[in-house]
Structure formats: C-alpha cells, structure tokens
Amino acid sequence: MDAFWMLLLLLIPVLLWTSSTFAFYFKKCFYVAWMMGLAVLAIPICILKSGGRDIENMRVIRSLVRHVKYFLGLRFEVSGWEHLQTEGPYVIISNHQSSLDVLGLMEILPDRCTMVAKKELVYAGTVGIVCWLGGIVFINRKKTNDAKSVMGDAAKTMLKDQIRLWVFPEGTRNQKGDLLPFKKGAFHLAIQAQAPIIPIVFSSYSNFYLRKEKQFKSGTITLKILPKIETKGMTTDDVSALSDKSYNIMRSVFMEISGSASQSNGPSGH
C-alpha cells in the first residue's frame, strides 16, 4: 500500500506536466475541494467574529482566498486602484467568465463590499454557508419580479448601511471571447440608490483556461478598474442608456486588454 501511494505521488507531477486533460481536471477538482475546505475554516471564524451574517465577514473570506491563485499558477496585473477609493456606496460591475472570477474579485475587493449571486449558490455546501455569512445578496434569476424586489431592498440596504455591491451584469458565465448583452438589474440598483457604477474588466482567460479543450495552464489575468460612472439625477428612464454606455466602455477595454494577456512558459502539451 505504501508503494502504491508513493507511485501515485510520483505519477501526479508527471501527468500534470505531460497531459493537459489530466492537469485540467486535477486543477478543477483541487480548486473546488480547496475552496470548500477554506469555507469550513471560515465558518467558525465568521461566527465568532461577527455573530452571524455580516458584510464584515467578507474581510475574513478575502484574506483566506487570496493565496489560492499561487496553487493554480495564476497572477494578476491590476491597474486603476485609485477608482476604488470612492467614498460611500457604489455598484461594481464586471464581466463573468468562470468560477475563477472569485480569485480576481478577492484580489481587489474593497471594504464593506459583497456580491449579488444566483440563489442556487446558497445550497453549495460549506461554500454556500460562508457566502450567506458574508452577506451575499441572493437572487432568483428565473423569477424576474423576485429579482427586482431583492434589488430594490438591496438599494435601500446600500444607503442605510453604506455598503458596496459587486454585480455580474451578463447574468451567467461566458467564455466566448466577447461580452454578453447586459441584464438591467445592476443599473436599476445603481439608479435606485443614486450610487455610482465602477466598471471592472477581467481580460480573457482563453490563453490559459479553455473548458471545451480541457486546458488549464498557468497564466496572467489583467484587471482594469475604470473610472466611476455617476447616476445622480438619473431615473428608470435612463436604465437602458446607462447599460449601453457601460457595456460599450467595458467591451472596448475587454478587447484591448485581452490581446495583451500573457501566458506562462510551460510546456506546449499543457
């Protein structure tokens, strides 16, 4: 039995180096398992620190997750930090490519900021519990009226508690080399709260992470934080124009930075 485990330990690095498919599934499984393990660690810390559901628990989650990038061979190049120094509530919007977005989110997550996420996430075991403890706002994407009601309540909470919310306006994960049309929820939220929008763009993952091709290499992700877009004085009549403006700005930046995203010098078989 000892010989078997020794052989397995020797075989894993060889397969990681020579088989892109093995590396893909190994990294994916490791990522999920490690995040669930971190959630187990985070749950009692969050409860002891804040007594339950509290946005301040995002500090704990952020500090625990930031190291995960090193295990996956990922690094981040961030520009525009100054735009997150905006005082008071604001809405962050960003493109959404995969579950790896969480690593970039935690890399730059400002204080008193949490996310808007699909309701299904709350049932994701230990990860769902820690998301709830972190004050994440859950919406039912299949019920438009429920989603609007939740966003309306979120706008009131933003103002009352002076918090920030991170929203993925594409509404689903997308790795097609372009942005999907934006859903309007984030823009209704920002206008109801009369809070500025801060767009953040993640460069394409296609040079290191491809689901269909089963490739997951080391790589660099460029994060560009853009200047805020004010919503003061806007009404619901301005939602479509605000959405279109944000989309056009972010799409232009996505195309620009995705061309310069670099990849590691690992073996071509990876």
Note if the pTM is more than 0.85.
Answer: yes
| Type of residue at 226 | L
Q: What is the pLDDT of residues 72-109, one digit of tens each?
A: 999 999 999 999 999 999 999 999 999 999 999 999 99
Number of H helices, E strands in the chain: 9, 9
Q: What is the pLDDT of residues 22-34, one digit of tens each?
A: 999 999 999 999 9
Cα 103 to its chain centre, rounded Å, is 7
pLDDT for position 269: 34
Whether residue 264 is predicted with pLDDT greater than 50 in this model: the reply is no
pLDDT for position 259: 79
Residue range 230-258: mean pLDDT, rounded: 97
d(CA 120, CA 118): 5
Helix 185-193 × helix 144-161 angle, to 10° = 30
Q: What is the pLDDT of residues 138-149, one digit of tens each?
A: 988 767 666 678
pLDDT for position 146: 66
Lowest mean pLDDT among 110-114, 203-207, 262-266: 262-266
